[in-house]
Structure 1
Amino acid sequence: MTSYKGVDHYATVRERVNDLFRSTESVQAIFDGVCAILTETLPHHTWAGIYLVEGNDLVLAAWRGPAATEHVRIPIGEGICGYAAAHGESIIVPDVSKDPRYLQCFAETRAEIVVPILAGDRVLGEIDVDSNQLNAFGAADQEILEELADRLASTILKGDRA
């Protein structure tokens, strides 16, 4: 996919993520790095977070964006994030104001995508990305985030989150 000025932002994300995974084995550094890469490389990704399943909750493990979210612990089944975790499926919300599941974090958020981090059928966590643009996310975003989720699942399973 090519975007503004012919730059393939998704290829840049893949390249930067490959470099990140080659440069460290620290699970926390990988989480932090993935969030940074998403918000720095994809202009419509204004906030990115990684939540991990702890018991019956999603717990924020890393984030990058203009401000912290108040939603650092979300019960599975609650909100868009909790729904994605409960059902183990990716969700694209073109307009958060029209989705009753949406838990508002930021007044400027207009769209959201949530992709579960899966090990088989087991949900380990998820990647949550917000945008301040309506209809910001499409198939290319889902594809790159699902690729990242697969890599994060392997990292979580072999790491200790240190």
Structure 2
Amino acid sequence: MPFQKLKPKVEDILQNKEASVDKRLTEVCELLETSIPYYDWVGFYFKNGDKEELKLRSFAGEPTDHEIIPFGRGICGQVAVSNKNFVVPDVKAQNNYIACSIHVKAEIVIPLFLNGENIGQIDIDSHSEDPFSHEDELFLEWVNKKVAEIL
């Protein structure tokens, strides 16, 4: 499904004030994971209080053992420090990659900002090689801006 068609669906989910924030985040993860063929795992990690680590809050896809990720470790941990998008076309080429599944071939992580502070990120794993484009980055930046509005 093209990104433009997903935007109103993401907005509808996030604007549903009858559902908890966690439920809405999970629904966004599920929408993206089921609508985009190369999004095989979608999750939101957030800074874990005052600790220098990320904590998994909501996801869609296979369960992961990586519910806590220290800053600087793996792709997610690096984004927590760099505050920059990180697109990994081939996870095997990354020496600081934390393997979540033997099937993952590529990953994209986009930081989520609230009032200018990096408070979390959306993380997407793909079982396809090099599937992510600039359009994915722009769409996921937009998703994060919409999520920030409900936090």
Structure 1 and Structure 2 fold alike (TM over 0.5)? yes
Of 102, 115, 129, the residue aligned with 2:97 is 102
**Alignment check: 8 A CA contact 2:106 2:131 kept:** yes
- Give the aligned partner of residue 144 of structure 1: 139
Match of 2:60 among 55, 61, 64: 64
Moved more, 87-96 or 118-127: 118-127
Q: Does 1:40 align with 2:4?
A: no
The answer to whether the Cα contact below 8 Å between 1:70 and 1:105 also exists between their aligned partners in 2 is: yes
RMSD: 1.2
Q: TM-score, normalised by structure 2?
A: 0.93
Query: Equivalents in 1 of 2:22, 2:38: separation in Å?
Result: 24
Give the letter aligned to residue 56 of structure 1.
Answer: E
- Tell me if 1:29 matches 2:23: yes
- Please state if 1:92 is matched with 2:97: no
- 2:114 is aligned with 1:112: no
Q: Comparing both structures, which one devotes a greater share of its residues to helix?
A: 1
Q: How far apart are the structure 2 equivalents of 1:135 and 1:108? A: 13
| Deviation sequence 1:47-75 (CA, Å, 0-9, x none) | 0010010121100001101x111100000
Quick check: 2:56–2:67 contact (8 Å CA) kept in 1? yes
The gaps in structure 2 that reach 5 residues or longer are none
Distance 1:78 1:37 in 2: 28
Number of positions where the alignment pairs a residue of Structure 1 with one of Structure 2: 148
Q: What is residue 83 of structure 1 aligned with on the other side?
A: 78
Identity %: 30
- Could you list the runs of 5+ residues in structure 1 that have no partner in the other structure? 1-7, 157-162
